[in-house]
Amino acid sequence: MRKITTILLASGLLFGAIGCKKLIEIEETDLLGGEVALKTVSNIEQAVIGAYGGLSGTALANSHIEMGILLNSSFSDELRTAGEFYNAATTHEWQYGSQDVGLRDNFTGINPQYSLINRCNVILAAIDGADSTRAGDETKRKLLRGEALFLRAFAHFELFRYYCGNYNPDALGMVYMEISTIEKFPRIKQGPYFQKLLADLTEAKTLLPNNLTDIGRATVVSASALHARIALYMRDWATAEANATTFINAIPLATAAAFPGIWTDANTQEVGFILRRLPNVGMRIGSLFRATSSISGGVLNIGPITWQPTDELYNSYDKVNDVRFASYIKDEPLLIAAGRTGRLVNKYAGGAYGTSTENLAHAKVFRTAEMYLIRAEARAEQNKFTGANSAESDINALRAARITGYAPVTFASKDAAITATLDERFKELAFEGHRFFDLKRRNLPVTRLATDAPNAAAQNLAAGNFRFVLPIPQPQTQANPLMEQNPGY
């Protein structure tokens, strides 16, 4: 394992500070290169497992999933400041630039994504030459290649979501890295960028296992979910519908009785890809919203509340009949009794206050509910908004699984179906890393209630505003002069 860690950590230097050429040319005496560290298929598998671990990170700016959750929630209308701790004014109020400290500390997507991509590239370069030492290694070699390609596609798509405008083949994409190198490259157009991304994902599907034995690793089902999500952003509606259907056919919606257990990690129903979180390893998703609590002298002190659900989100639920409300949001009587803000994000609460599992919850990357909503939007865009196999039938099916006594609705138009689908995404996918990107890709504004905004200037971000696309951080443009900055920055 030391060998694997050494080569993967070393490969991460690709997007860090790079010394002069003469220093690079000095032969290493204590570095185990890929030809040694990744010598066998077994070594390759350990490297792939390490790449999955790279999705976790050790801090918010290095944690892929948590970073996306906080960005989408705090930049949009899902979260408001709780008043107990607020140090995100520039990001929450859309005043960030390429040198912004908040972006640097919390939302720097380039380093973690390209580090993960480089891990995958090191693996892909070594995998064909790795020795087969055990029975089944040749089959495993194909699976591992599929996983590396899946992760590479996943990370490149996240870079697009952070740093690119809405899909346009002629618009600016990012750098698509397919080899491990310190050579600098310019950003390419989105057309060829997505061709490479889809080529990786298409090949991955032919190599990944077509089962759900281990949802902590990529499968054909999770690759189909990623494909559906990508096609949604590309506005390739038929492909989005087809891949969402593949996922839905494999994994049904959870029942209302089972649904709360998804978020307490009592079950993994309707989850197709999960990133498990362990104590003392990486970020805790719940810690994005409130600090951990302490118990001193038998007295519980609930940690400071950083963010709380907005009035807009809170009031969007049927609080009595919708199982999502209590699963996602909590009115904490202990806080109310203490005169503190009582409304909490409950979705990733983990264990009891003051325990080792407080704020600790697994990340659910792909869920059946998201696939229903992708399919509903794709069907509506194809004018399949009412009747069987339509946006209407998908929305009704999802709501019926969540709301006791739900009465089905009928959509009179494509626009009505799309509006309902976006409203349902707001409620169903809250705090899962989608809202800000949803408003961006649909060319909609961020609109906050006056009670949810820290000031009048932070109530609205106009549709199409340049800040829907994050700036390339200044250290990256300085390290790579070929990296073109985004408009407005």
* Predicted local confidence at residue 283, as pLDDT: 83
What is residue 367's DSSP assignment? E
For the cut 90, the answer to whether the pLDDT of residue 11 exceeds it is: no
Torsion of CA 166, 169, 172, 174, to 10 degrees: 90
Give the pLDDT of residue 104: 87
Distance CA 92, CA 88 (A): 6
Q: Across the chain, what does the average pLDDT equal?
A: 92
Q: For residue 56, what pLDDT is reported?
A: 74
Amino acid at 415: D
* The pLDDT of residue 212 is above 70: yes
pTM over 0.85: yes
> CA-CA distance, 62 to 108, in Å (whole number)?
8
Q: Is 228 helix (H, G, I), strand (E, B) or coil?
A: helix
Per-residue confidence at 144, pLDDT binned at 50, 70, 90? very high
Q: Give whole-number Cα distances, 265 to 14, 258, 262, 360, in Å.
A: 36, 11, 5, 10
Lowest mean pLDDT among 13-17, 142-146, 295-299: 13-17
Higher pLDDT, 147 or 282: 147
One-letter identity of residue 424: E
pLDDT on residue 63: 81
Please say if the pLDDT value at position 345 is more than 70.
yes
Q: What is the mean pLDDT of residues 128-149?
A: 95
Task: Please state the three-class secondary structure of 110-176 as a single string.
Answer: HHHHHHHHHHHHHHHHHHCCCECCCCCHHHHHHHHHHHHHHHHHHHHHHHHHHHCCCCCCCCECCCC
Check pLDDT > 50 for residue 24: no
Q: Whole-angstrom Cα distance, residue 77 to residue 66?
A: 17
pLDDT for 395 beyond 90:
yes
DSSP annotation of 396: H
Domains and CATH numbers, the chain: 1-21+31-188+443-484 (1.25.40.390), 279-361 (no CATH)
Q: Please tell me the distance from the alpha carbon of residue 50 to that of residue 226, in angstroms, as a whole number.
A: 21
Q: Output the pLDDT for position 280.
A: 78
What are 246-285's pLDDT values in tens digits?
999 999 999 999 999 999 999 999 999 999 988 877 789 9
Amino acid 479: pLDDT: 92
Element housing 287 (H / E): none
Looking at the predicted structure, is the pLDDT value of residue 15 above 60? no
Least confident piece of the model among 6-15, 156-165, 395-404, 416-425: 6-15
Percent of the chain with pLDDT over 90: 87
Given its phi and psi angles, is residue 443 left (phi above 0), alpha (psi -120 to 50 degrees) or beta? left
pLDDT value, residue 33: 53
pLDDT attached to residue 36: 65
Would you place residue 7 in the very low, low, confident or very high pLDDT band (cuts 50, 70, 90)? very low
Strands (E), 6-92: 79-81
Give the pLDDT band of residue 35 (cuts 50, 70, 90).
low
Q: Give per-residue burial for 20-55: e unless 16+ CB within 10 Å, then b.
A: eeeeeeeeeeeebebeebbbebbbbbbbbbbbbebb
